[in-house]
Chain A
């Protein structure tokens, strides 16, 4: 079960906002996390606590393909991101590295910054404990659910290659 305080953003949060390119001369997640959201939310890194949840409206993670973006969010302690829609490269990257994402319009519309959410990643149930409301995220397509349950793309690829050798 994932549980934490909500940090809320609007539409089209781009990956330059998540992690500015000037910090991409390194790739260690902990180093990237120090600058997460810096250009649009200067104090995010000081406020964020382990388990916290990012909520945004549409097209979260647009722009650059940098995998450093979900890595920075995850290493900052964020347990999952909930949005109405995600940009496609960010979506793949987050799934691949094991940062859970949920698409849920109602949860986004009815949650404010500072609310406490509890999310069950296996069922997609989202509880807003502050407001006493409950929502269900869009289920993942079967293929992606398999990818996630295998432990991400690297584990999935290892399994595929092992299968080929049999």
Chain B
């Protein structure tokens, strides 16, 4: 069995499972947010069990429209907060929270070998830790909150292998944008993407979170990585319960094996209006921008902010550009503060916000007007995603986004900083 199915099988009463089979899977953690929880709670109440199966295996995070952007959002969060308090469900209040997919790994709530389901499509982020994590809707979450398990169709697995060392300015975001561009937005439909190869071995955990996060943009049910020393170093200080590391069988069935040599890869940009509409930056041309967003469940982690700060240090954001930087969690925010990154951002002329999904989905904190263009480190650039249906979103990594903020147009970092001095710039002031 492939890695994902080894984990799934261990959460059923079966020894072996095969792609296409319907199974009932015990879950280790269930997640919902301020948009998806209200429906899940409403549906849960229809089941009539009164209490959730285990409140310590359920987490709810107010992150999408929070701090509450209007009265309607406040009512949704109130419903969720009261349900959590009444049931004893794990809840992170504004001021202690983060964007769910940045927060849960940090808090040690998601661990290798877990099965995690979340009412948010980017739940697949936790595959970076060698867990099986997948997004579902609110009613699925409601049923799982009552029973502790959920039905699934066993997915086939696509093995995605990366060779070669990463060139300057290139990271996990570029690998996944390139892959989505090559496979298409439904290229991995219903499948698991198992990411592997020597390039992955040298990639940081933050880079792996970015990749697993966007597996869903290729239609995948999950993205998954094997656990290595880097994973263990990340997990050990955070885990508060035992966990198990699974390995794929030597003879695993893959429906497809794709192989990429990335040694000549440039930073990748996804042009409007699809994450699969990717081009290397040298072929994007002169695109003027009005806004830059650095943050989100895709690229709102400490490493992302460190990279952006190394570009922005001592420079000024273009006078015509609004640059909005959103640390992904309170922990990321505090680390960015003590490392001097926040001072770099503010001196450069960026707006820094408390953690929120906000602008990524056109909620608040950076909504676009008609005709406006944004380069963003987020995950989707659909029509109207960040505001007006007549606006445009370009997706990139944090280094390109920061360089573009300085120049006022989509820019290779080469145009604002040379590679040598970038590498030497310490994040500390």
Q: Which residues of A contact B (CB under 8 A)?
A: 12, 14, 16-17, 20-22, 24-27, 38-40, 58-59, 62-68, 71, 85, 87-89, 92-93, 96-97, 141, 143, 147, 152-154, 156-158, 160-161
Are B137 and A21 in contact, CB atoms less than 8 angstroms apart? no
Known interface pairs A88-B190, A89-B136, A92-B136; A65-B384 also in contact (CB < 8 Å) = no
B137-164 CB mask vs A (1 if < 8 Å, else 0) is 1111011001100010100000000000
Which among B69, B186, B363 is the interface contact of A87 at CB below 8 angstroms?
B186
Contact residues in A for B274 (Cβ distance below 8 Å):
12
Contact residues in A for B48 (Cβ distance below 8 Å):
158
Q: Which 7 A-B pairs have the closest CB atoms?
A: A93-B137, A25-B72, A59-B186, A67-B137, A21-B361, A39-B384, A96-B139
Q: How far is the CB of A125 from chain B (nearest CB, A)?
A: 25
Q: How far is the CB of B189 from chain A (nearest CB, A)?
A: 7
Known interface pairs A62-B185, A89-B136, A154-B43; A25-B147 also in contact (CB < 8 Å) = no
Are B47 and A87 in contact, CB atoms less than 8 angstroms apart? no
Q: For A97, give the chain B residue with the smallest CB separation.
A: B139
Which among A12, A20, A63, A154 is the interface contact of B362 at CB below 8 angstroms?
A20
Contact residues in B for A147 (Cβ distance below 8 Å):
151
Q: How far is the CB of A58 from chain B (nearest CB, A)?
A: 6
Q: How far is the CB of B32 from chain A (nearest CB, A)?
A: 10
Most buried by A among B73, B380, B387: B380
B35 part of interface (Cβ distance < 8 Å): yes
Q: A16 CA to B64 CA in the complex, in Å?
A: 14
Contact residues in A for B153 (Cβ distance below 8 Å):
141
Which among B140, B384, B385 is the interface contact of A92 at CB below 8 angstroms?
B140
Contact residues in A for B190 (Cβ distance below 8 Å):
88
Known interface pairs A27-B39, A89-B121, A157-B147; A65-B383 also in contact (CB < 8 Å) = no
Q: A105 CA to B136 CA in the complex, in Å?
A: 26
Q: A88 CA to B152 CA in the complex, in Å?
A: 11
Q: How far is the CB of A128 from chain B (nearest CB, A)?
A: 26
B16 part of interface (Cβ distance < 8 Å): no
B110-121 CB mask vs A (1 if < 8 Å, else 0) is 000000001111
Contact residues in B for A17 (Cβ distance below 8 Å):
382-384
Contact residues in A for B361 (Cβ distance below 8 Å):
16, 21, 64
Are A25 and B70 in contact, CB atoms less than 8 angstroms apart? yes
Q: A63 CA to B275 CA in the complex, in Å?
A: 10
Q: How far is the CB of B268 from chain A (nearest CB, A)?
A: 19
Q: A62 CA to B383 CA in the complex, in Å?
A: 13
Would you mind naming 12 contact pairs between A and B with Cβ atoms under 8 Å apart? A12-B186, A21-B35, A21-B363, A22-B387, A27-B38, A65-B121, A66-B137, A67-B39, A141-B22, A153-B143, A154-B142, A160-B147
Q: A147 CA to B143 CA in the complex, in Å?
A: 13
Q: A59 CA to B137 CA in the complex, in Å?
A: 17
Q: Which residues of B contact A (CB under 8 A)?
A: 22, 35-36, 38-39, 42-43, 46-49, 64-65, 69-70, 72-73, 76, 118-121, 123, 135-140, 142-143, 146-147, 151, 153, 185-186, 189-190, 219, 221, 274, 361-363, 367, 380, 382-385, 387, 389
Q: A63 CA to B361 CA in the complex, in Å?
A: 11
Q: For A26, give the chain B residue with the smallest CB separation.
A: B72
Q: How far is the CB of B183 from chain A (nearest CB, A)?
A: 12
Q: How far is the CB of A91 from chain B (nearest CB, A)?
A: 9
Which among A14, A39, A92 is the interface contact of B137 at CB below 8 angstroms?
A92
Q: For A16, give the chain B residue with the smallest CB separation.
A: B382
Contact residues in B for A62 (Cβ distance below 8 Å):
185-186, 219
Q: A99 CA to B221 CA in the complex, in Å?
A: 21
Which among A59, A64, A157, A161 is the interface contact of B121 at CB below 8 angstroms?
A64
Are B120 and A88 in contact, CB atoms less than 8 angstroms apart? no
Q: A121 CA to B153 CA in the complex, in Å?
A: 22
Q: A20 CA to B76 CA in the complex, in Å?
A: 17
Q: A93 CA to B40 CA in the complex, in Å?
A: 12
Are B121 and A68 in contact, CB atoms less than 8 angstroms apart? no
Q: How far is the CB of B77 from chain A (nearest CB, A)?
A: 10
Contact residues in B for A92 (Cβ distance below 8 Å):
136-137, 140
Contact residues in A for B143 (Cβ distance below 8 Å):
153-154, 156-157
Are A59 and B47 in contact, CB atoms less than 8 angstroms apart? no
Contact residues in A for B151 (Cβ distance below 8 Å):
143, 147
Q: A153 CA to B72 CA in the complex, in Å?
A: 28
Contact residues in B for A141 (Cβ distance below 8 Å):
22, 153
Q: For B22, give the chain A residue with the smallest CB separation.
A: A143
Contact residues in B for A14 (Cβ distance below 8 Å):
380, 382
Are A65 and B136 in contact, CB atoms less than 8 angstroms apart? yes
Most buried by B among A17, A25, A27, A38: A25
Q: How far is the CB of B48 from chain A (nearest CB, A)?
A: 7
Q: Knowing that A20-B362, A20-B389 are A-B contacts, what are 4 other residue pairs whose CB atoms are under 8 Å apart, sorted by A's residue number? A: A89-B136, A92-B136, A93-B136, A157-B147
